């Protein structure tokens, strides 16, 4: 496999095979994803739900995101790393969006940032691109708005909302985004929008007509035990395997089957005899000291 770093030019090449993006929030998952050969690693704000225990992506902060971006980028992956800008970090003003995007690059070490929203966010996207930072858009179902507007609403179910999505995607492309995530978008609409754009789309619940696909690490590997949206395919049962490993460890500790000789540091028999002798002397001295005290 070619181990040179993925560049924006590789990602946006029109003739390339479908793009593969996976989320990662720490060094271990980043190494696994990168060794598996993904094109992009997304330090998604789903970090909030899958790693930090929040009920939604809304509470996660820029500082929390940066902490996890650093964990991923320290592994120096071959894949392009995209940092997800959390709710509140790019909506207030274009200046603040640029300031926060710069933090993602300088402090988080990411190659690009992602933000949610279409036409309404085009100005912020343009300002970040003008600052020299690559931006990935995200339209359709946008989880950061779900707190206010409801969860898992499929986008583009009729011609009007389909056209609005097209306008949203076009506005992001015109703002200079290098790629756009289409989340929970009707398949026919996502395929047609992809065909209209010059930049690649990355689908999640948007059908096979997108230029690539993304899934959340914890869902695709089966680490996540809870329910998932219908578009998720579990490619493994890592959660069950991890649970079995921990239960086996607990069993072995309780039955004293672990650790055994091969997991211990050993000492020659004559050294143990000298140690026992010295220990007996220490015991005698301490008894003597207690009696005379
Ligand atoms: O935060 C995230 O994981 C995402 C993907 C679901 C696209 O935005």
Per-residue model confidence as pLDDT tens for the chain (293 residues): 456 899 999 999 999 999 999 999 999 999 999 999 999 999 999 999 999 999 999 999 999 999 999 999 999 999 999 999 999 999 999 999 999 999 999 999 999 999 999 999 999 999 999 999 999 999 999 999 877 766 667 888 899 999 999 999 999 999 999 999 999 999 999 999 999 999 999 999 999 999 999 999 999 999 998 899 999 999 999 999 999 999 999 999 999 999 999 999 999 999 999 999 999 999 999 998 988 87
Q: How far is the CA of 271 from the centre of ligand 1 (A)?
A: 58
Residues for the chain: how many in total?
Answer: 293
What pLDDT does residue 1 have? 47
Atom nearest to 84 CA in ligand 1: 1
Q: What angle do CA 38, 127, 61 make, to 5 degrees?
A: 60
Determine if ligand 1 sits within 6 Å of the CB of residue 80: no
Q: Is 120 a domain residue?
A: yes
Q: Is 284 a domain residue?
A: no
Question: Is residue 183 annotated as part of the catalytic site, yes or no?
Answer: yes
- E strand or H helix at 204, and its extent? strand 201-204
Q: Is 250 a domain residue?
A: no
**Domains in the chain, number:** 1
Residue nearest to atom 3 of ligand 1 (CA): 44
Q: Could you tell me the pTM of the whole model?
A: 0.93
Q: Is 236 a domain residue?
A: yes
Q: Is 251 a domain residue?
A: no
User: In this structure, what token pair is assigned to residue 114?
Assistant: 């992602």
- CATH number, domain with residue 228: 3.20.20.60
* Domain membership of residue 170 as a residue range: 8-243
Determine if ligand 1 sits within 6 Å of the CB of residue 73: no
What is the DSSP pairing of strand 201-204 with strand 112-114?
unpaired
Q: How does pLDDT run across 16-30, given as a tens digit for each residue?
A: 999 999 999 999 999
Q: Is 293 a domain residue?
A: no
Residue 214 CB neighbour total at 10 angstroms: 24
Catalytic residue among 64, 183, 241, 270: 183
Q: Is 260 a domain residue?
A: no
Beta-ladder partners of 139: 182
Q: Is 287 a domain residue?
A: no
């Amino acid at each position: 496999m070619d181990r040179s770093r993925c560049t924006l030019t590789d990602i946006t090449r029109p003739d390339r095979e479908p793009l593969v993006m996976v989320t990662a929030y720490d060094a271990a998952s980043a190494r696994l994803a990168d060794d598996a050969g993904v094109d992009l690693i997304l330090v998604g704000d789903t970090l909030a739900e899958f790693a930090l225990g929040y009920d939604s992506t809304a509470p996660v902060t820029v500082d929390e995101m940066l902490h996890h971006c650093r964990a991923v980028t320290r592994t120096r992956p071959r894949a392009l790393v995209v940092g997800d800008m959390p709710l509140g970090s790019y909506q207030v003003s274009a200046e603040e969006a640029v300031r926060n995007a710069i933090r993602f690059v300088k402090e988080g070490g990411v190659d690009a940032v992602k933000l949610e929203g279409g036409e309404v966010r085009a100005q912020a996207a343009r300002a970040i691109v003008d600052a020299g930072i690559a931006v990935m858009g995200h339209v359709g179902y946008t989880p950061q708005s779900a707190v206010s507007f409801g969860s898992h609403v499929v986008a583009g179910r009729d011609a009007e909302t389909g056209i609005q999505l097209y306008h949203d995607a076009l506005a992001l492309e015109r703002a200079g985004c290098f790629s756009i995530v289409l989340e929970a978008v009707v398949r026919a609409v996502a395929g047609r929008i992809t065909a209209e754009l010059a930049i690649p789309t990355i689908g999640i619940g948007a059908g096979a007509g997108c230029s690539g696909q993304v899934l959340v690490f914890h869902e695709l590997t089966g680490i996540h035990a809870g329910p998932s949206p219908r578009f998720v395919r579990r490619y493994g049962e890592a959660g069950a395997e991890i649970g079995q490993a921990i239960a086996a460890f607990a069993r072995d500790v309780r039955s004293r089957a672990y650790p055994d000789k091969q997991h211990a540091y050993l000492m020659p028999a004559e050294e143990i005899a000298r140690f026992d002798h010295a220990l007996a002397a220490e015991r005698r001295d301490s008894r003597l000291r207690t009696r005379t005290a």
